[in-house]
Amino acid sequence: VITLYARETENGGSVTDLLRYSKGTVLYREGDPARFWYEIVSGMVRTCRFHADGHRQLTGFFYADDVFGVEHGRHSETAEAVTAVVIRRHPHDELITASTMDGTPSQQVLERALESARQCIFLLGHRTAANRVAAFLVAIAERIGAGEGVQLPMTRTDIADHLGLTIHTVSRTISDLARRGLIALNGPQKVRILDMRGLQSLAGEEAAVTYDSGTEALIASPGTEAIDRLKARPRP
């Protein structure tokens, strides 16, 4: 079920709609022409791709103020409403203009999408189930604010498909984290983080390397294999 709340016309004439989708609604499918990109006002959206064997890879969860569906040509992912959700739907052309309605440069929208993809890679890069689940919980807590309990509106199946695990392993791991006193459960969707430090160390927050790679030697010398390519593409 989709509801139109409001339609707004930009100076340029592009039309931005404010829409409400009910839980479970598909916003767009993999392969659909990417006519719009989306910004969440409230609720949660998931994006996913399907592998040939039928299994689903969830590529991201998106919260209020997050942006998704930023793609050129066709959507490479499917987007669905995890909860009832209100979104602001922007025509894709709008990206071409210098800035979005907030005055932020259009690139920031893409960079946020890129950051989201990197977050997903980071999660999947963890070795064990405990690592991944802990990293997932930490990421959500940091995103939403861990203050007095984290809501997990998505199902265990969603989490499993996001982390590359089975629903069973996710459930077992979460139970185990609770048993070890790192979190407390108040129903499956309501998690309270008791030991953030412990969770973070389990999550393996990346080692912060913050120094500059520094000096470069700028020495003019003859090249080797790349000269041909070089000549093939002369520059002004």
Instruction: Considering only residues 153 through 192, tell me which ones interact with its own copies, judged by CB under 8 A.
Output: 164
Among 82, 126, 140, 170, binds its own copies (CB under 8 A): 126
Instruction: Considering only residues 216 through 235, tell me which ones interact with its own copies, judged by CB under 8 A.
Output: 216-221, 223-226, 229-230, 233, 235
Q: Which two tokens stand for residue 7?
A: 């339609």
Asked if 28 and 83 count as a contact pair (C-beta separation under 8 A), the reply is: no
| Cβ-based nearer residue to DNA, 57 or 171 | 171
Asked if 61 and 44 count as a contact pair (C-beta separation under 8 A), the reply is: yes
- Residue 26 sits at φ, ψ, to 5 deg, of -85, 125
Instruction: Considering only residues 157 through 216, tell me which ones interact with DNA, judged by CB under 7 A.
Output: 157, 164-175, 185, 187-189
Among 44, 81, 113, 152, binds its own copies (CB under 8 A): 113
164 burial level (CB within 10 Å; 0-12, 13-18, 19+): middle
The DSSP symbol for 217 reads -
Instruction: Considering only residues 42 through 81, tell me which ones interact with its own copies, judged by CB under 8 A.
Output: 42-43, 49-55, 57, 59, 64, 70-72, 76-78
Task: Give residue 4's region: left, alpha or beta (phi > 0; psi -120 to 50).
Answer: beta
Asked if 95 and 113 count as a contact pair (C-beta separation under 8 A), the reply is: no
Interaction partner, residue 32 (its own copies, DNA, none; CB < 5-8 Å by kind)? its own copies
Binding site for DNA (CB under 7 A): 127-130, 155-157, 164-175, 185, 187-189
